Structures are given as C-alpha cells and as structure tokens.
Structure 1
Amino acid sequence: MAIRIITEPNCGNAPRHEITRRFAVALASADTSELELLVSPDAEWDILGKLSCRGIPAIIESAGLSPASVELRVLSVITHGREASIDGEVLYENGHVMNFCHVVRFANAAKTAAITRIRTYQASSNR
C-alpha cells in the first residue's frame, strides 16, 4: 500500500537530505527493497525505550511490526557530514499518530554511503 508523503521541497544541494527522507519513507511503509538499498547489512537500530536490533533482517522485521501507515509528514531534515536527522509524524491506518525523530549515521562521507546507525525517538500524539 502506498502512503501519502507530505514534505517541503529541498534545494537539491544536500544528497543526504533525500537519502534520509527515503529512509523514513521506507521505514514507515516497511519497504524491504528500499531499506536493503539504504541500510548497511550490519546496521544498528535503537528505538529508545522500546527495541534494539542489529542487521538488515532484524531492522526489516522490526519495521514491519508497526500498524499500516497511511501518511508520513516530514517536518524537517538536517544533514551534516556523516550524520543526519529527520523529524516528522506518521499517521497509521487505525488513526494513531506517532511523532518521530530518526538520527542516522552514514558509513562515511561519500554521497552514496549506507546508513550504519539509527537512533529513533518516538512519542504518540493526537493531531
């Protein structure tokens, strides 16, 4: 199921901005093939206070545990060097809203480097 993405256009001068946005979309939609393209095979993902997993199979499995998403609203994306963060909210099919911030680290400074570490902060809210 395709989800609706709401985001502001960016300047196009920060390649990691788009990669970080694609990563958030892939997590929200549990898009296995996109996650495999963007995330290192041995990446680590921590959702603070909820779970910790290592490796792309575990990340894909954990991404699939959330209810079906219908909308992803990207509020901001910040990138610098090997790090990036994305702040937004996901609206689930059941009407639940989850605010999130993913802080990601890339393997190196190359434009196509894989994501090696993700720390996610989440909080439920009403719109």
Structure 2
Amino acid sequence: MSRILIVDDAKFMRTTLHAILSKDNHEIVGEAENGEVAVSLYEKTKPDLVIMDITMPVMNGIDAIKKIKEIDVNAQIVVCSAMGHQKVVVDAIELGAKDFIVKPFDEHRVLETVERVLSYITS
C-alpha cells in the first residue's frame, strides 16, 4: 500500500482523488489546498507520492515542486492540470515531476499513472 499526499485548491478535486485512490487501497496521508501547506505536509508525512495541482493560491504547484525537491530529490510527484496548460506541465516535468494527469479525472488514467510512477520506486 502506498502513501499519497493530495494537493489541490478545489475541495471537490481532493475528494474525488481521495475516493479513487482509497478504493484502490492507497493510504491518503494528507490533503493540502495550496503549495505552502503541501510542502509542510510533505516534510511531516514523507509520502511515497504527491499528486500536485499547478494553479493554486498562496504557492502554486511549480514553486511547491521546487521546494519539495529541495527537501527530497527523490520525491515522486505527479502533476494534475486542466487541458490547455501544456507549457506549465512541461515546466513541472523539467523540475522533476514524473508524470501528469489531466482534469477532469478519468479514474482508470489516474490509477494507471499512479501505479506506473510507484513502480519506478520499487524497480
């Protein structure tokens, strides 16, 4: 069972991801509504994977990825973004995000992406 931190400013999106991942036996170790809270929770919970929204108040996902990677260069991060934000997704991947999920979420795609990224850790 993997430990996952969900980061999205929309409560509905966090709830949706929580439901998809819990049903697949992943443990949700925390939920954050912005990048600042995400960085703090990352330090406390040391999750196996972070699912990170890009566009958020206080601290956006790009800045949060930078900070998390400073804390842990091996952090496994998947970004989630709405269609049409390819440039930002590319930026996130260049900073070390492992993959991305497009909103609105497709349950199969979410689980497939999570499994693929987590398999990098164990292999």
| TM bracket, shorter-chain basis | under 0.3
Q: Which has the higher strand share?
A: 1
More RCO (CA 8 Å, sep 6+): 1
Given the two structures, how large is their TM-score scaled by the length of structure 1?
Answer: 0.27
Q: Which has the higher helix share?
A: 2
Which structure would you say has the larger Rg? 1
